[in-house]
Amino acid sequence: MNNHNIPASVRKVKVEALKRLLVFTVACTCVSVMYIQWTYIWMLRSEMAEITRLLRPLDTAVKEGGICCDSAVCYGATSCYKVSCYHRFPERRTHAEGRDKRDVSKQRKQRKRREKQHTFLHLVPVSSQTYNDHDTTVLSWAVGQSRGEGLQVSADTVTVETEGTYFIYSQVLYKDTTWVMGHVITKRHKGAETKLMKCLKSMPSNVSQPLNTCYTAGIYFLESGSTLQLSVPRKSAELILTAHATFMGLFNI
């Protein structure tokens, strides 16, 4: 049917019906939302009532004996201070102390494990000593940086207290006129002597003051009680004994 043929009175009735339907729909929606909100508020009130019921014995104990919550202790029935009150609950105190002891023991074991895994020793030069009988110059060291107790230094000797696999490194700065210079790291253990590393470097010949460094490094297993020594196979070797130019070190891997 063509809308133009509908009488004006009929169209007016239809419009009124649509308006009423829209108002009814909006009203139903508002009522539904209010019902949902009321239900949620009722649930919250029920939960609060249950919490209040559970905490009522503790409130009674506070009034009668001055017992406080976990983070406070009461004096009398009215004063509370923010300190631990596990002494009021022996079973909770025992549990907490046991947990604290386990945590401290675990942290201590982890710290010892880290120290054992990351033991290192970095040495800086102090002096050099020449031994004419062996045509050798030996360096004495001081501790630059260290961690752990698995490595000890005494004068020209490093002693390994904790056996393991170590990365060893060394560098020496030479100012000698000898055409070739170098150094050797020697390990001694139970009377046996092993040359672990050798470093050789040609010295410049066309300068008035020749300077050159020799660096070497390697990975070796070191037994407990073994010792390391760095020596230059030249008597009265001319060396630069500064921390940034001449050094030696090792760390556990």
User: How many CB atoms are located within 10 Å of the residue 139 CB?
Assistant: 25
DSSP single-letter state for residue 226: -
Task: Please give the pLDDT value at position 74.
Answer: 46
Q: Which of 75-79, 114-118, 222-226 has the highest mean pLDDT?
A: 222-226
C-alpha distances in angstroms, 156 versus 13, 114, 141, 178, 248? 113, 28, 6, 24, 11
More confident residue, 245 or 149: 245
Model-level pTM?
Answer: 0.54
Q: What pairs with residue 213 in β-bridges?
A: 173
The rounded distance, in Å, linking the Cα atoms of 199 and 47 is 79
Pairing mode of beta strands 73-75, 227-232: unpaired
Flag the least confident range among 53-57, 118-122, 198-202, 229-233: 53-57
CA distance 125 to 173: 11
Strand partners, 166: 220, 252
pLDDT digit string, tens, across residues 35-80: 888 887 888 888 888 887 877 766 555 455 544 444 444 444 444 4
Confidence band of 114 (pLDDT split at 50, 70, 90): low
What are the structural domains, with CATH classification, of the chain? 120-252 (2.60.120.40)
User: What pLDDT does residue 220 have?
Assistant: 94
Above 50 in pLDDT, residue 91? yes
User: Looking at the chain, how many residues does it have?
Assistant: 253
Nearest Cα to Cα of residue 131 among 235, 231, 228:
235
Which residue, among 81, 51, 78, has the nearest Cα to 65 in the 3D structure?
78
Facing residues of 202 across strands?
Answer: 180
